[in-house]
Amino acid sequence: MVTVIDYGSGNLRSVAKALEKVGGRVVVRNTPEGIESSDRLLLPGVGAFGDCRRNLEATGFWEPVLRHVASGKPFLGICVGMQLLFTEGTEFGTHPGLDLIGGRVVGFSREMPDPADPSRHLKVPHMGWNRVRQEMPHELWQGIPDASHFYFVHSFHCLPDDPRVLAGSSDYGVRFVAAVIRDNIVAAQFHPEKSQDHGLRLLANFLTWKP
């Protein structure tokens, strides 16, 4: 069973439907009761880092998420759900994250030149399809060709302290972290639930992955 955390900061319907499509038995929970019985946990996230952090704590999920990860069970973070794993985020001030992966979440510069027209700047947020380079071999990438396209919507990106957690990278003005893996944690800056066949395959891989 995979639990999708509803803490008021995620695109829950599309995530749950995508998991069900690839054979997942999905429960969406808006309270932490019963979360310990879940085999796998998924933390989505849409919005500002600080708001998502406050919502996660206010709904009582903060400590259960930490306990789930400590138990060694598989965990997947998506978009801001990935960013919250880091030590701190810098959107509208500095806010502490779960600190499960050391590092910071910082914003894209709004002065990045557009490679197609250097007289213009790239738009922020970064929105749309982009190639993801696989930076480490892992079950998460099974059946997904390297440099496949995934769908992104974000203005901030993660800077891990330990480069060994880097699982996928992409480019938007700068090279940025598209996915991280550490022990029983996998996380993606892109939205697999919006990434068609490759995204569905990634979710299917998560459902069968045994850390």
What is the Cα–Cα distance from 100 to 165, expressed in whole angstroms? 11
Which residue's structure tokens are 């996660």? 56
Q: Vertex 208, ends 55 and 133: CA angle to 5°?
A: 75
Residues tagged active-site: 79, 191, 193
DSSP three-state, residue 148: strand
Residues β-bridged to residue 166: 180
CA 77 to chain CA mean position, Å: 4
Three-point CA angle 63, 15, 146, nearest 5°: 100
Q: What secondary structure letter does DSSP report for 44?
A: -
Count how many Cα atoms sit within 13 Å of the Cα of residue 146 in the half-sphere of its side chain: 8
Rounded Cα distance between 136 and 181, Å, is 9
Owner of token pair 């310990």: 36
Q: Kindly state the helix (H) or strand (E) to which residue 48 belongs, with its residue range.
A: none
Q: Which of 106, 104, 108 is CA-nearest to residue 160? A: 104
